[in-house]
Amino acid sequence: MSVVEPILNYEYPDEKGHFGPYGGIFVAETLMHALDELNRTYQRFKCDPDFLDRFDQDLKHYVGRPSPLYFAQRLTAHCKGARIFLKREDLNHTGAHKINNTVGQALLAQHLGKPRIIAETGAGQHGVASATVAARLGLECVVYMGSEDIIRQSSNVYRMKLLGAEVVPVTSGSKTLKDALNEALRDWVANVDSTFYIIGTVAGPHPYPEMVRDFNSVIGREARQQILEQAGRLPDVLVACVGGGSNAMGLFYPFITDESVLLHGVEAAGEGLDTGRHAAPLNAGKVGVLHGQRTYLMEDENGQIIQTHSVSAGLDYPGVGPEHAWLKDIGRAQYSAATDIEALEAFHLLTRLEGIIPALESSHALAHALKLAPTMAEDQIIIVNLSGRGDKDIHTVARIEGIDV
């Protein structure tokens, strides 16, 4: 375990959206005004008691918060080491942590008087969460989704349509999440007066990384209070999967000045970090600029963004939120990676031992916890963010195992 430098004051991003050298605003002039307007609105509302109260009420009565912190007794016994607790974001309305952020951004959209929201989605969870809040607030909703992902996640596509959203297939580039993000940005450029763009992760130009982190930090605030109540002490390690990194930032952020708590992010190693077929920019990428931010990227030697691979569509993104890049560089968090096979093993193990079917994304975090727990003492504590439920993934898992569902 590495020694972490004391972080007494952690005030990021700065007012221009920088986390050290990362983050910022790297967009065409056509979007600068919209981002400026969004930032001014967010900086005002994030301290507005009425707005925060409305947000809390929605989290409680619509999302179903607080989500439980569950002691996974049989999983702990299986690992013969640290006690493993699961933060049950899978029990939220729509089945993942994504709804926390969409509820917050939809409230902002309403305050700005924008009748139309757009979103990008990979696994479909953020698209479903956006379509859900749009339905509830009576807003028009358009979701951009890579045509490859539409095939992988057909049930979520149908859910979005049921909720009244228009799902637009994106056939450019690699036809996955990054291309959906490009397409959503283009829509926003063209329709900026009427449209609010709900980005689903802690990535993109300022203020999105800060705003999405803040809306998701309810995860960590609850977990901190819950573990103090249940165990009487802070955890030793937090574990969360990292694609863009919103569930991880949401869990980590309220613990960031608790020096004794180690933060472990887990990227998708796909078929293995040495195969090149993965989605692990923090482990095996380089610093560059994409989607409005400076961060670690999966890119070739000419600066072209390369295709990522993961069994989990939600982790299949060539970048990562800029705050994770900064936490890595300053050593406050450490980032490993789990392969497709390790994630699938963890998926099955949790299902059989605890009766909880985890999302394939969250299974990456579980896979890391399974390696970590046996190396720790029995009185130590790991909290794993169970960021989503696996119902959406059963077809993928069945297909891999040659079963026709």
By CB under 8 A, tell whether 43 contacts other proteins: no
37 is catalytic: no
d(CA 62, CA 56): 10
Q: Give the three-class secondary structure for 39.
A: helix
Name the residue among 319, 310, 298, 277 with its Cα closest to residue 182.
319
- Residue 140 among the catalytic residues: no
Of 67, 114, 120, 148, which is the active-site residue? 120
Determine if 178 is a binding residue for other proteins (CB under 8 A): yes
Alpha-carbon distances of 132 from 97, 153, 263, 362, rounded to whole Å? 13, 17, 31, 22
Q: With respect to other proteins, which residue has the nearer C-beta, 26 or 51? A: 26
Q: Judged by CB under 8 A, which of 28, 47, 377, 405 binds other proteins?
A: 28
Q: Is the dihedral of CA 364, 369, 370, 372 positive or negative?
A: positive
For residues 223 and 262, what is the distance between their CA atoms, to the nearest angstrom?
14
> Of 26, 51, 62, 71, which one interacts with other proteins (CB under 8 A)?
26
CB of 182: closest distance to other proteins in angstroms? 5
* 11 vs 193, beta carbon nearer other proteins: 193
Binding residue (CB under 8 A) for other proteins from 10, 14, 30, 260: 30
Total number of residues that touch other proteins (CB under 8 A): 40
Omega before 66 within 30 of 0, i.e. cis: yes
Counts of helices then strands in the chain (DSSP H, E): 16, 14
Q: Write out the binding residues for other proteins, residues 231-290 only, by CB under 8 A.
A: 286-290
Minimum CB–partner distance for residue 280 and other proteins (Å): 18
Q: Quick check: 397 binds other proteins (CB under 8 A)?
A: no
Residues in the chain: 405
Torsion of CA 13, 14, 18, 20, to 10 degrees: -90
Shortest CB 390 distance to other proteins, Å: 30
Segment near other proteins (CB under 8 A), from 33-41, 70-78, 135-143, 256-264? 33-41
List binders of other proteins among 187-226 (CB under 8 A). Answer: 189-193
CB atoms within 10 A of CB 221: 15
Cβ distance 293 to 255 under 8 Å?
no
Task: Dump strand ranges (E) for 89-137.
Answer: 116-121
Q: Which of 40, 61, 161, 186 binds other proteins (CB under 8 A)?
A: 186
Compute the least distance from the CB of residue 295 to other proteins, in Å.
11
- What are the start-end ranges of the E strands in 271-359? 286-290, 292-297, 333-339
Strand partners, 266: 241, 336
Active site residue 378: no
Of 87, 89, 98, 217, which is the active-site residue? 98
Binding status of residue 15 toward other proteins by CB under 8 A: no
**Backbone φ/ψ region at 300: left (φ over 0), alpha (ψ -120 to 50), beta:** beta
- Of 96 and 170, the one with the shorter C-beta distance to other proteins is 170
- Interface pick for other proteins out of 68, 169, 173, 276 (rule CB under 8 A): 173
Verify binding: residue 112, other proteins, rule CB under 8 A.
Answer: no
Distances (CA, A) of 265 to 290, 324, 344: 21, 9, 18
**Which range of residues in 32-40, 142-150, 276-284, 371-379 is near other proteins by CB under 8 A?**
32-40
- Count the neighbouring beta carbons within 10 Å of the beta carbon of residue 129: 31
- Taking CB under 8 A as the criterion, the residue among 29, 229, 274, 404 binding other proteins is 29
70 strand-pairing partners: 86
- Catalytic residue of the set 246, 267, 387, 392: 387
| Strand order through the sheet with 262-270 | 69-71, 83-88, 381-386, 237-241, 262-270, 333-339
Residue (175 or 332) nearer to other proteins, CB: 175
Residues 153/124, Cβ–Cβ less than 8 Å: yes
Q: What residues between 299 and 358 interact with other proteins by CB under 8 A?
A: 299, 301-306
| Shortest spacing between CB 146 and other proteins, in angstroms | 13
Per CB under 8 A, does 21 bind other proteins? Answer: no
User: Would you count residue 119 as binding other proteins (CB under 8 A)?
Assistant: no
Contact range with other proteins by CB under 8 A, out of 109-117, 133-141, 231-239, 295-303: 295-303
Binding site for other proteins (CB under 8 A): 16, 24-30, 32-34, 36, 172-173, 178-179, 181-182, 185-186, 189-193, 286-292, 297, 299, 301-306
Kindly list the catalytic residues: 98, 120, 387
